[in-house]
Structure 1
Amino acid sequence: MAFRAGCSLATASRVLNRNGPVSDGMVRKVRRAAAELGYRPAGPTAGKLGQRPVVGVLIPSITNPVFASSLSSIQNRMLVAGHGVVIAQSNYDPGREADAVASLLNDRPTGLILTVCDPLTSAALLPSLPPTVLLNNMPTQRFPAAVTADNRRAGRELTEFLIAMGHRQILFVSGNFVASDRARFRYAGHVDAMHERGLTPLDAVEIPFVSGYEELDLREAMATFSPTAIIASNDLLAFGAIGALRREGFSVPRDVSVAGFDGIAIGRLMDPPLTTIEMPDASMGATAASLLLDIAENAAPARHLDVAYTLRKGGTVRDLTQDPS
């Protein structure tokens, strides 16, 4: 293999074991040669018959339907490619990401698919990694391979829709921004749209992602800002906001409109159905899996793939321009 790649045995060993400095060009040559020869580095269980190569996947929460959908499509794609999948979750905690990734590395994966809180801050905490693709995070210098939807543009588009429906006081309710750059980008897009229309954006209400949805208390925010509409940073939080409003005697959408992000299936079953930005979670997961295999096994260059989202107009937003009373 070293001969095929045009390098020394020591260089090939450094690439395959990820334990020394090697140029990006040489890394691609060695990986290509390994793929052409059908070589896989021996892991701690390589001697077991039927042992399959694996990829590692880090997600914030295994119970969130968004990540469950992505994970299912990753597993299906990897099954076709003959790979197993090992999973870790961070619980939206930046401090837990390094330990979660370390647990994935114990299985000597072919590569990693990571959804982190913020790749710019997470990078400093993570060790040297095999080929890695970010899922839902924007690419960085360290992690140039990524599959994303444009969350900032989605936040702007959803806000523009509400403004067109006559809403001017719009409250943004979000999980903590430090735990999700997706939520932060969505709020930034909301702020962009408000400024573009000459409106003053309200400060976001931030709550923990893992807990707090069912106990969400919007009394103070409603009394202070009197919003006619609420944007939640994801659909689960939108459901929590609707419950909080109803506990205070508000009707959705008669008194307050509510919209979210993600487009999870349960939102279509609500009465009325939730207005939301629908993200292509399943196709994004499959795309990330294919990109990782291409990089890890074919030495393809890292690249950023942007996947389209859609605005799904449900029944939780009231058109104030038709009935302002």
Structure 2
Amino acid sequence: MARHPVRAAGDRTPTVYDVADRASVSIATVSRVLRTPDAVREATRERVLDAVRDLGYVPSGNARALAGRKTGVIGLCFPGHDALEEEDRPAPELTDGVRVVDDRRRGAAPQSPNLYFDEVLRGAEVEAWRRGFALMVAAGRGPARDVIVNDIAGRVDGLAVLARTVSDDLLVHVARRLPVVLLADAARTGAEPPDGLDHVSVDNAAGMQALVTHVVERLGVRDLVYVAGPADSPDDAERQRGLFAALDAAGLDRAVVEHVRGDFRRDTGDAAVADLLGRRVPRALVCANDQSALGALDALRRRGLRVPDDVYVTGFDGLDVGRFTEPPLTTVAQPMAELGRAAVRAVVDRLADPGAPLLSSRLPVQVLLRESCPPVDTSM
């Protein structure tokens, strides 16, 4: 990955005119590249983006305020995640202010897909308010995510960004102008965050290892299936590392543990487990997050299988909804709200002391044993 030198504090802040001059295009073309990149020919787009990177330009209607870190706003970015996308449905047509809707459920009824992000956001909002800042939240997916990060970077004093949702190059580019803190793991076990960015995460590996150790050693399970998250998720990579550590410690072959893809969502967790049950019924389902576990419970219920009598089910996150499932969900509770608060604290601390040592904070987790995979095996 290319590394860019940090611009000296006394250097003049580059403008859109500098970018246009460097790329030999109009400022209108620069604006189109930064806001609607797909509307510009690839060769021109790359020339403009090269100029942006070389100059360290961050688009801003308030560039002078940004340079002085006086916007009073901190950005929170969850780009690239469908979890924050509104469901694409038409607004209801109202008659006399009331509409009667048949809302009987048909099969599984997925919960809101962004419960994890709701908790992180709540913590970030509280901490920003305590520190005297407003919070600006942005989400997007596909090519729009880079545009969104560039845009929000021009409006805030610092950014907290979910790891691996945008390229390291873009993060390093933005970090030349303002503090950037990564949320969640960087998927480089034992390594520093990319190019020296501050980093706040939770101990995913230790939490999953403790949970799986309970399943395989305390309950004696040898037939378990891992319902994985997205293939590019740093959190899932860490949780799989904890899974493998527990299997190794118990003397079990990693290869015998089947993986199915739940994608961190209730509906995809449901679909993955339903497909699995068409082939076989394992003794335990170890799910990469709570929403996948909720989907697993949906699929098991439709098949008439009992939890925990027929199948153990575990999750990861500690969503409040897990306490009210039937049966209540065994899970690893991570401090989601505290993760948001810690990220905001890291941004504010970096603003106050740009030369402070890098922060790489890993918050502890807690294993919560409930009825879906109880402390003792009551089914045998």
The equivalent of 2:125 in structure 1 is: 75
1:306 and 2:362 equivalent? yes
Uncovered stretches (5+) of structure 2, i.e. residues with no partner: 1-6, 17-59, 85-112, 187-191
1:133 and 2:189 equivalent? no
In the alignment, the residues of structure 2 paired with residue 215 and residue 162 of structure 1 have an alpha-carbon distance, to the nearest angstrom, of 21
Distance 1:222-1:305 versus aligned 2 partners, 3 A rule? same
Amino acid at match of 1:76: V
In the alignment, the residues of structure 1 paired with residue 226 and residue 262 of structure 2 have an alpha-carbon distance, to the nearest angstrom, of 11
Percent of residue pairs identical: 25
In the alignment, the residues of structure 2 paired with residue 298 and residue 42 of structure 1 have an alpha-carbon distance, to the nearest angstrom, of 25
Cα offset for 1:298?
2.4
Cα offset for 1:198?
1.7
The equivalent of 1:237 in structure 2 is: 292
TM-score of the two chains, using structure 2 as the length reference: 0.67
The equivalent of 1:27 in structure 2 is: none
Distance 1:273-1:207 versus aligned 2 partners, 3 A rule? closer
Does the residue aligned with 2:135 lie in a helix, a strand or coil?
Answer: strand
In the alignment, the residues of structure 2 paired with residue 321 and residue 214 of structure 1 have an alpha-carbon distance, to the nearest angstrom, of 25
The equivalent of 1:111 in structure 2 is: 158
Does the residue aligned with 2:138 lie in a helix, a strand or coil?
Answer: strand
Give the number of equivalent residue pairs: 285
Uncovered stretches (5+) of structure 1, i.e. residues with no partner: 1-9, 20-40
Distance 1:90-1:315 versus aligned 2 partners, 3 A rule? farther
Aligned-residue CA RMSD (Å):
3.0
1:317 and 2:378 equivalent? no
Out of 303, 325, 328, the residue aligned to residue 248 of structure 1 is 303
Out of 89, 99, 102, the residue aligned to residue 150 of structure 2 is 102
Q: Is the 8 A contact 1:254 1:318 kept in 2?
A: no
Distance 1:90-1:209 versus aligned 2 partners, 3 A rule? farther
The equivalent of 1:169 in structure 2 is: 223
The equivalent of 1:43 in structure 2 is: 62
In the alignment, the residues of structure 1 paired with residue 121 and residue 13 of structure 2 have an alpha-carbon distance, to the nearest angstrom, of 26
Does the residue aligned with 1:173 lie in a helix, a strand or coil?
Answer: strand
Q: Is the 8 A contact 1:70 1:285 kept in 2?
A: yes
In the alignment, the residues of structure 2 paired with residue 82 and residue 116 of structure 1 have an alpha-carbon distance, to the nearest angstrom, of 25
1:268 and 2:319 equivalent? no
Q: Is the 8 A contact 2:283 2:310 kept in 1?
A: yes
Amino acid at match of 1:261: F
Deviations 1:245-294 (A, max 9, x none): 11122111111010000001111122321100000111121122111101
Q: Is the 8 A contact 1:245 1:251 kept in 2?
A: yes
TM-score of the two chains, using structure 1 as the length reference: 0.77
In the alignment, the residues of structure 1 paired with residue 234 and residue 304 of structure 2 have an alpha-carbon distance, to the nearest angstrom, of 33
Amino acid at match of 1:269: F
Out of 228, 244, 247, the residue aligned to residue 194 of structure 1 is 247
In the alignment, the residues of structure 2 paired with residue 257 and residue 205 of structure 1 have an alpha-carbon distance, to the nearest angstrom, of 16
Distance 1:96-1:142 versus aligned 2 partners, 3 A rule? farther
In the alignment, the residues of structure 2 paired with residue 312 and residue 101 of structure 1 have an alpha-carbon distance, to the nearest angstrom, of 36
Out of 63, 73, 76, the residue aligned to residue 57 of structure 1 is 76
In the alignment, the residues of structure 2 paired with residue 157 and residue 17 of structure 1 have an alpha-carbon distance, to the nearest angstrom, of 51
In the alignment, the residues of structure 2 paired with residue 217 and residue 248 of structure 1 have an alpha-carbon distance, to the nearest angstrom, of 14
Out of 8, 12, 23, the residue aligned to residue 9 of structure 2 is 12
Cα offset for 1:236?
0.9
